[in-house]
Amino acid sequence: MVAYTFTTPGGFPGDITRHDFTTTTEVALTANPPTAFGVAVTLDAATGAVRPIGTGDTATTPITGVVVRSFPMQMATAPGPYGQTPLGQGNTPPSPPQPLDVLRRGGIRVAVVGASAKGGTVYIWTAATAAPHIQGGFEAVNPTTNGFALGANVTFNSPPDGNGTAELYFNL
């Protein structure tokens, strides 16, 4: 019998996990769009579009949602028939002016740094991307001055799988 040394893969960042209890909305992107699926975004008051979480953001920054990984998605180059990216490949969201789906309520897979636990506090990394941290990405350990904690309406629902993704419950 084969033994798994890690948790079996649960999905890819940006995959919706609880379809029955999910609310998503289609949003416009700013000229500086998110660079990955499964990251937090906020509303840009000047343009009315969403932008990635950045260095100046704090716990008072309202989180609009989490970027959903649509399937099939269009890429700048066509790796498959009709320009779609095969399931599990690619991690580049559409660029403006294409709209993007954002999760407002429900379960979603996200890349997480640290060992998340069911019901655990969720933190967002706001400093510049530096491996393994992703700007706008989720953290299981308090990043102190490099991020902030989200409220009680956002929690982890699983430990990370073998690929470092965990299920996140998000409810705005």
Q: How far apart are CA 65 and CA 127, in angstroms?
A: 19
**92: region left, alpha or beta (phi > 0 left; psi from -120 to 50 alpha):** beta
CATH number for the domain that contains residue 153: 2.40.300.10
On whether residue 83 sits in a domain, the answer given is yes
Total structural domains in the chain? 1
Q: How far apart are CA 130 and CA 107, in angstroms?
A: 26
Instruction: Give which of 92, 84, 94, 77 is closest to 29, Cα–Cα.
Output: 94
On whether residue 1 sits in a domain, the answer given is no
Q: Quote the DSSP letter at residue 121.
A: B
Give residue 102's domain range: 19-171
Q: Characterize 114-124 residue by residue with b for buried, 16 or more Cβ atoms within 10 angstroms of its Cβ, and e for exposed.
A: bebeeebbbbb
On whether residue 4 sits in a domain, the answer given is no
pTM of the model: 0.82
For 161, counting Cβ atoms within 10 Å of its Cβ (0-12 exposed, 13-18 middle, 19+ buried), the class is: middle
| Tens-digit pLDDT profile for residues 48-66 | 889 999 898 999 999 999 9
| Tens-digit pLDDT profile for residues 58-104 | 999 999 999 998 765 555 455 555 555 554 555 566 666 678 899 99
Q: What amino acid is encoded at 123 in this protein?
A: Y
Question: pLDDT-based confidence at 31, cuts 50/70/90?
Answer: confident
